[in-house]
Amino acid sequence: MPNISTTYSPISPSERIVALDVLRGLAILGILMMNIQSFSMVEAAYINPSAYGDLTGINKWVWILSHIFANQKFMTIFSILFGAGIVLMTSRIEAKGGSSAGLHYRRTFWLILIGLIHAYLLWHGDILVTYGLCALIVFLFRKRSPKLLLILGFASISVAALLYLFLGFSLSFMPSDAYQGLMHGWKPNAEIMSREISIYQGDWLKQMAHRIPSALKFQTLVFLIWYSWRAGGLMLIGMALFKWGVLTVQYPKRFYFMLMSIGFGFGLPIVIYGVTRNFAANWSLDFSMFFGWQFNYWGSLFIALGYIGAVMLICKSMNTNKVTDSFAAVGRMALSNYLLQTIVCTTIFYGHGLGLFGRIERLQQILFVIGVWVFQVIVSLIWARYFKFGPAEWLWRSLTYLSIQPMCR
pLDDT digit string, tens, across residues 35-63: 999 999 999 999 999 999 999 999 999 99
How far is residue 216's CA from residue 220's CA, in Å, rounded to a whole number? Answer: 6
Residue ranges making up the domain that contains 27: 16-373
What is the reported pLDDT for 45? 95
User: How many domains does the chain contain in total?
Assistant: 1
Report the greatest alpha carbon distance in the chain. Answer: 63
Question: Average pLDDT in the 328-346 region?
Answer: 97
How far is residue 366's CA from residue 188's CA, in Å, rounded to a whole number? Answer: 24
Residue 10 placed within a domain: no
* Residue pair 50/187 in contact by the 8 Å Cβ criterion: yes
How far is residue 384's CA from residue 25's CA, in Å, rounded to a whole number? Answer: 13
Spatial CB neighbours of 261, under 8 Å, sequence gap ≥ 6 = 306, 309
Q: Output the CA angle 199-204-207, nearest 5 degrees.
A: 30
Residue 119 placed within a domain: yes
* Residue pair 138/239 in contact by the 8 Å Cβ criterion: yes
User: What is the percentage of the chain residues whose pLDDT exceeds 70?
Assistant: 96
DSSP 226: I
Residue 403 placed within a domain: no
Statement: residue 1 has pLDDT above 70: no
Residue 5 placed within a domain: no
Cite the DSSP H helix spans in 218-292: 228-244, 253-280
Statement: residue 11 has pLDDT above 80: no
What is the reported pLDDT for 323? 86
Statement: residue 2 has pLDDT above 50: no
Burial of 1 (0-12, 13-18, 19+ CB in 10 A): exposed
Statement: residue 393 has pLDDT above 50: yes
* Residue pair 243/84 in contact by the 8 Å Cβ criterion: no
In one-letter notation, the amino acid at residue 214 is S
Statement: residue 118 has pLDDT above 70: yes
How far is residue 217's CA from residue 184's CA, in Å, rounded to a whole number? Answer: 14
pLDDT in tens, 193-239: 999 999 999 999 999 999 999 999 999 999 999 999 999 999 999 99
What is the reported pLDDT for 4? 43
How far is residue 305's CA from residue 184's CA, in Å, rounded to a whole number? Answer: 35
Residue 395 placed within a domain: no
What is the reported pLDDT for 168? 94
* Residue pair 360/40 in contact by the 8 Å Cβ criterion: yes
Question: Average pLDDT in the 24-36 region?
Answer: 97
Residue 400 placed within a domain: no
What is the reported pLDDT for 17? 87
How far is residue 129's CA from residue 110's CA, in Å, rounded to a whole number? Answer: 10
Q: What is the pTM of this model?
A: 0.94
Residue 404 placed within a domain: no
pLDDT in tens, 257-283: 999 999 999 999 999 999 999 999 999
Q: How far is CA 71 from CA 31, 36, 132, 203, 325, in A?
A: 8, 11, 22, 30, 25
Residue 35 placed within a domain: yes
Statement: residue 8 has pLDDT above 90: no
Statement: residue 137 has pLDDT above 60: yes
Question: Average pLDDT in the 304-322 region?
Answer: 89
Computed from CA positions of residues 345, 293, 284, 175, in that sequence, does the dihedral angle turn out positive or negative? negative
Whose CA is closest to 24, among 303, 238, 263, 301? 238
